[in-house]
Amino acid sequence: MNAEPDPGQGTAGATTVREATLEVLHEYGLTTLFANPGSTEVAFLTDLPESLTFVLALHEGSVVGMATGWALARERPALVQLHTTAGLGNAVGALATARVNRAPLVVLVGQQDRRHLALEPFLTGDLHGLGGDYPVHVAEPAVPQDVPGAVARAHHEAVRGQGPALVVVPQGDWSAPAYPKDTGTPPPERAAAARVVSASGVEDGDVHDLAVLVAGARRPALVTGAGTDSAQGWAALVALAEHLQAPVFQESFGARAGFPQDHPLYAGVLPADRERLRAVLSVHDVVLAAGAPVFRQYQYSPGPLVEPGTRLALITDRPAEAHRSPVELAVLAPVAPALRALVRHLPARSGQEGPGESTERSAGSPETVQAPSTPEPGPRGPLRPAEVMAALAERIDADTVIVEETPSSRPDLHRILPARRPLGYVSAAMGGLGFALPAAAGIRMGAPDRPVVAVVGDGSALYQVQALWSAARYGTGVLFLVLANGRYAIMDRLAEARGGKPPWPAFDQVSLSALAGGLGCPSRQVGSHEDLAAALDEIVPTLRGRTEPVLLDVAVAPDPEFRP
């Protein structure tokens, strides 16, 4: 390895952790990388040197299986990269095989940026024990500068133990100076509530201090998510919102809709980056989250969550969420009863800013919903995702369950297909792909009286395409609407945002309709506006009583304007 630079030198032009790690990989001959990419790995993968060969597989079981075969054939360790909880979880069976087969693997596991790990942002994983006893070694470097050494140690452990050795690397570590004197990293928020009120039941006194805080607000706002997605939760939150005449935001990356998204007070989905989040919430002096965390984020960006003049409070039934949230006051209690008690304590508001003004001011987020709308038809070329969703919105019943897993088209879905009933919207809040196909089948089995439509990207669908067999075998009657652009569009955008190009290829030769047919699920390809209208006109009216699932493989153009 090269001699270490002087630790006293400035950070400008200094060797990064990524550069130092690449030196380690080359020193140990780890120059073929088996991966299925995820966003927490983009910082490492963008603009890979030509000396490092990238091999794409479509599922982590295949990633590790290929690397195992390569390691056994070459009689030396293979290099693997897995995507946080979802990737490591999907790969556990294959890692077990590698251990028993005595295949040495050096496995880099992505993690969210450590500067906000304490707030458990989107895609955070509790990774240390997820692989069970199958890894021969697991390292979670305490600081970014430990990463290169941890990778070198993993190589030795993989050879010594003849199995997979894991190194968990937060995504922000790759760009950190490898030998810093002073990184200049701003301190994170204090990841703890200033005060927690705990109540197993809900007495009026339990919400007294919260009521005082909210009553003193000039422009309060509410944030909600899966914790109020029930008939009781919707009713209680609607009553509070109307009592306060306060806008209600949906948490970013929410698993379920906690408020009717066609209600006049619905203000849209909160941005998933701090700069836009601060802008959206800056007009509000008190923000109360109910049944949602404070606040889920995606890529790390510096600065506080909210402006100094915005006070935060929380109602949750999850102890960990109450204690880690950076709020002034957290009430740990059943959410719907606490909301009802809060209404009893608060005077009704009149003459306050109406929902229209708040919603308009909140439009800094690309996911913010002013009202459901249908885009104007485009030229008779490739379909756009928004056009597909608009055609669906025109035809489905209000109680249809939309199961979403289309990351690059999620803002369009929130705008065009609002949840109008409890359980009207379901998604994977953890962020791992492979949720929608099996979840949609399970929801239909559990709620056979409700129509179910899964709106899924083709990349997402490939993670659990096997679920189509079960959907057909057990007569679920789900409409699987696959938006096929032949690539990991959100990953492409993330790489472009870093000013580089990705190493992964497109997979536009994959046919979801052919895969569905092979798994016993009826399917058809849709390539035009006319085909789409005809298919939906035929299928949607049958969804309530349908027992046979069907997959529509809809060719769409990637959205060039999407911003992760």
For residues 304 and 273, is the Cβ–Cβ distance under 8 A?
Answer: no
pLDDT band at 5 (very low <50, low <70, confident <90, very high): very low
371's CB contacts (< 8 A; 6+ apart) are none
Distance from C-alpha of 339 to C-alpha of 398, rounded to nearest angstrom: 26
pLDDT at residue 168 is higher than 60: yes
Is residue 366 predicted with pLDDT exceeding 60?
no
Q: What is the pLDDT of residues 323-332, one digit of tens each?
A: 778 888 888 8
| pLDDT of residue 268 exceeding 60 | yes
Which residue in 270, 120, 269 sits closest to 188, CA to CA? Answer: 120
Question: What's the pLDDT at 442?
Answer: 84
Torsion, CA 427, CA 417, CA 460, CA 305, rounded to 10: -60
pLDDT, position 289 = 94
479-484 and 550-555 beta bridge pairing:
parallel
User: What would the mean pLDDT of 325-353 be, rounded to a whole number?
Assistant: 83
Predicted local confidence at residue 121, as pLDDT: 86
Least confident of 135-144, 187-196, 455-464, 532-541: 187-196
Predicted model pTM: 0.77
The pLDDT of residue 195 is: 60
The whole-number average pLDDT for the span 2-14 is: 45
- Alpha-helical runs (H) found in 224-313: 231-244, 274-281
Confidence of residue 355 (pLDDT cuts 50, 70, 90): very low
More confident residue, 11 or 326: 326
User: Residue 562's pLDDT is what?
Assistant: 56
For the segment 355-365, the average pLDDT, to the nearest whole number, is 37
Fold of 196-361: Rossmann fold (3.40.50)
Residue 203 has pLDDT above 90, yes or no: no
Mean pLDDT of 509-514: 88
Q: Is the pLDDT of residue 111 over 70?
A: yes
Q: Is residue 347 scored above 60 in pLDDT? A: yes
- What is the predicted pLDDT for the residue at 524? 94
- State the chain's mean pLDDT as an integer: 84
Pick the more confident residue, 76 or 539: 539
pLDDT of residue 214: 92
pLDDT, one tens digit per residue, over 33-84 is 999 888 889 999 999 999 999 988 888 988 888 888 888 878 889 999 999 9
Domain covering 17-175, topology: Rossmann fold (3.40.50)
Contact assessment for residue 564 and residue 410, using Cβ atoms and an 8 Å cutoff: no
Which residue in the block uniquely carries the two structure tokens 């949840």?
Answer: 419
- The residue that leads in pLDDT, 401 or 366, is 401
Q: What is the pLDDT of residue 175?
A: 92
Range(s) of the chain covered by CATH 3.40.50.970: 17-175, 385-555
Give the Å distances, CA to CA, from 363 to 281, 282, 303.
Answer: 11, 12, 20
Terminal CA-CA length for the chain: 37
Task: Enumerate residues 6+ apart whose C-beta is below 8 A from 243.
Answer: 343, 346, 348, 349
pLDDT of 542 reads 95
Q: Tell me, which fold does domain 385-555 have in CATH? A: Rossmann fold (3.40.50)
pLDDT at 13: 66
